Structure formats: structure tokens, C-alpha cells
């Protein structure tokens, strides 16, 4: 059966990455069921798809029982608060969607004999003692710290996904997503890219935590989506890092945002949040070898597009 006749469920489909996945699969001719409780998702991200006969939005908390009639060929579990502000505001829903939501979506995949893809995260590595981080690294996570609700939810989600794969023979994939940016990020979601862009386009001081020596790597959304598609269509069942290995200190990144946006801002420094990772950079050797994937969009180019989108959608 060609993909054009297939049906796909995307949880968190009205979110930043979920909505771009909806776009991609609609473009590829699949029937898309977008499931989102809108706790952090935004209907505006998928409103342009409402009139498409192959798109259906279902408002639902995937941590609760979910049923869908007919065949399902793919289940993609992307539902979760994904920024420190969100999962500190919603600690219990974050844990529930990682645990109960994963259980329910895996059950759906089992019932429908569908291929399953879990959106995991580089946060499973915690504050890493290995750099860059390979998929074989087990992580360094504080399970009872404030960030633990997200880190451990995703680590549990990976564990139950592999358990369903081994015990129930479910066809599963796990993508470990590193810092990603682009249009449709929420301007006030607390992550470094929208924070800096919001501050820069308003000529407000850019807030850097610590001395800005902590590092991050930034992958443009279109590169990430391509990596996810390649993983979904591959035979790789173990977790795969998808991200951009180009590494910047937060202070370097702040200056780049100011340069690209032509901001007149200054930089101010505040104390580091609890358990904030000091380093974050993916080793993408596995993705290069088995998915033939590597990021293509330069950071400056991606930032220009993202800043343009934020200026047009600043009220959101």
C-alpha cells in the first residue's frame, strides 16, 4: 500500500513540531489525525489544514483512553510540554503524558498493528558527563529535581517503547530530539531561541543565565522533520539522535541573535536554573550512516526565517 492511502495519528499535532509533521504528511498524501488537548498546542498552527479532506483535528488528552475506528498505519507520539516553563507549570500532566500517554499510544499501535514513533529528547542525557552525546550514553539525570518531571517522563517513555517492541513485537522508532527552532515556536515558551528573539526585536536586554558559558546546538525545524521522516521509514529500532552538531555558547548565540535581528539590546546575566545542562551537542554519526541524514540549514539563515515569522506573529 502506498503512503497516499495510509492513515497516521500524530499526538501533540497542534504543537511546534507536531504541526510541521501534519503539514509534511498531508503534503505526502496521508490521512492525518491530529490529536491535541491544546495545553501548550495552538490551533492556529493547523488552522490552514482544516478544509483539507485528509486532515482531522481531535481535541483530546492522550493521557486518557483513546479510540479511533478504522485502520491506522503510523502512530507518532509527540504530545508533551517541551519547555522548562511549561513542564514546571504542568509537572503532573508532563509525567502523565510521558507515562500514560505512551502506554495508550503504544496500545493503539499494538491494536492497529501500526508502526510507532516516540518523540524523545536530548534531556534523557540530563547534565551529561559525556560530550558530545552518543546514543549509547545512559545519561546523568537528577530524578527528583524540578526538571526531572520531563527527563524521567521521556526516559520512561523510551523504556516502555522498547518493552512493547521486545515483548509485543511492535514496530517502533525512537528519535532523541536536540534543540530545534523555527516558525510556530511559542514566543513566551521560555526556551532560549524565542526568549532571545522576543527580547531582541523589542530591543530589550537579552537574559543570559550564569556567564553564558553553557553550550547548545540548534537545528532548524525543516532539517529535523526530514530526519524524523527518514527514521520513520527506516528499519532502525534503537534510539537515534537528530540535531545539529554545531555548538555555540549561550553568550555567542545571544550575540548572533542580536546581529541577525539588528537589535540594540544589551546582555544581562542571571543565576543558572537548577540542573541546567552545561553542555548539549549531539553525536549524529549513527544518523549519518544509517539514515543518510545531516542538517543542511545554516544557523544564520534559520534565524532570519524564524525572526521574520515572529515579527509577523508577535501577538501569539
For residues 158 and 141, give the distance between their C-alpha atoms in angstroms, rounded to a whole number.
15
| pTM summary value | 0.94
Question: Is the residue at 112 inside a domain?
Answer: yes
Q: Using one digit for the tens of pLDDT, what is the confidence trace for 116-155? A: 999 999 999 998 899 899 999 999 999 999 899 999 999 9
45 DSSP 8-state letter: G
CB 224 within 8 A of CB 271: no
How many residues in total does the chain contain? 316
Among 175, 176, 172, residue whose Cα is nearest residue 75 = 172
Question: Is the residue at 206 inside a domain?
Answer: no
CB atoms within 10 A of CB 105: 28
Confidence band for 2, pLDDT divided at 50, 70 and 90: low
Question: Is the residue at 201 inside a domain?
Answer: no
Characterize the bridge pairing of strands 115-121 and 206-209.
unpaired
Instruction: Provide the 3-class DSSP secondary structure of residue 35.
Output: strand
Q: Cell for 130?
A: 559525556
Cα angle for residues 261, 262, 266 (degrees, 5° grid) = 100
Question: Is the residue at 189 inside a domain?
Answer: no
Question: Is the residue at 234 inside a domain?
Answer: yes
Q: Cell for 131?
A: 560530550
- Residue 293 CA, chain-centre distance (Å), reads 17
Q: Using one digit for the tens of pLDDT, what is the confidence trace for 210-222? A: 888 888 899 999 9
Question: Is the residue at 191 inside a domain?
Answer: no
Identify the CATH number of the domain in which residue 85 sits. Answer: 3.40.50.720
- How many domains, in total, are found in the chain? 1
Question: Is the residue at 188 inside a domain?
Answer: no
Determine the structural domain holding residue 129 and report its residue range: 3-181+219-244+281-296
The residues that are catalytic are: 150
pLDDT for position 1: 52
Strands, E assignment, the chain? 7-11, 31-36, 55-59, 74-77, 115-121, 172-177, 180-181, 206-209, 215-217, 219-220, 240-242, 247-249, 267-270
Q: Kind and range of the H or E element at 257?
A: helix 250-261
Question: Is the residue at 12 inside a domain?
Answer: yes
Amino acid at each position: 500500500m502506498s503512503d497516499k492511502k495510509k492513515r497516521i495519528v500524530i499526538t501533540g499535532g497542534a504543537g511546534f513540531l507536531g504541526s510541521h509533521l501534519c503539514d509534511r504528511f498531508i503534503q505526502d498524501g496521508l490521512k492525518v489525525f491530529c490529536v491535541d488537548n491544546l495545553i501548550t498546542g495552538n490551533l492556529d498552527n493547523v488552522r490552514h489544514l482544516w478544509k483539507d479532506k485528509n486532515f482531522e483535528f481531535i481535541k483530546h488528552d492522550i493521557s486518557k483512553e483513546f479510540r479511533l475506528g478504522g485502520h491506522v498505519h503510523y502512530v507518532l507520539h509527540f504530545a508533551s510540554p517541551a519547555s522548562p516553563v511549561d513542564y514546571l507549570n504542568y509537572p503532573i500532566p508532563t509525567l502523565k503524558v510521558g507515562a500514560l500517554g505512551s502506554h495508550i499510544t503504544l496500545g493503539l499501535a499494538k491494536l492497529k498493528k501500526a508502526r510507532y514513533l516516540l518523540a524523545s529528547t536530548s534531556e534523557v542525557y540530563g547534565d551529561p558527563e559525556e560530550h558530545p552525546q552518543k546514543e549509547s550514553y545512559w545519561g546523568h539525570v537528577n530524578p527528583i529535581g524540578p526538571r526531572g518531571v520531563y527527563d524521567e517522563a521521556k526516559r520512561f517513555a523510551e523504556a516502555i517503547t522498547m518493552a512493547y517492541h521486545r515483548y509485543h513485537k511492535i514496530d517502533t522508532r525512537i528519535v532523541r530530539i536536540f534543540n530545534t527552532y523555527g516558525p510556530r515556536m511559542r514566543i513566551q515558551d521560555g526556551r532560549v531561541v524565542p526568549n532571545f528573539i522576543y527580547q531582541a526585536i523589542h530591543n530589550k536586554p537579552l537574559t543570559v543565565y550564569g556567564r553564558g558559558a553553557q553550550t547548545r546546538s540548534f537545528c532548524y525545524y525543516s532539517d529535523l522533520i526530514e530526519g524524523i521522516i527518514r527514521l520513520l521509514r527506516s528499519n532502525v529500532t534503537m534510539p537515534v539522535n537528530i540535531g545539529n552538531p554545531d555548538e555555540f555558547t549561550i553568550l555567542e548565540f545571544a550575540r548572533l541573535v542580536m546581529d541577525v535581528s539588528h537589535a540594540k539590546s544589551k546582555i544581562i546575566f542571571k543565576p543558572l536554573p537548577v540542573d541546567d545542562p552545561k553542555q548539549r551537542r549531539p553525536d549524529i554519526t549513527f544518523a549519518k550512516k544509517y539514515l543518510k541524514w545531516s542538517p543542511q540549514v545554516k544557523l544564520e539563515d534559520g534565524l532570519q526565517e524564524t525572526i521574520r515569522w515572529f515579527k509577523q506573529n508577535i501577538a501569539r
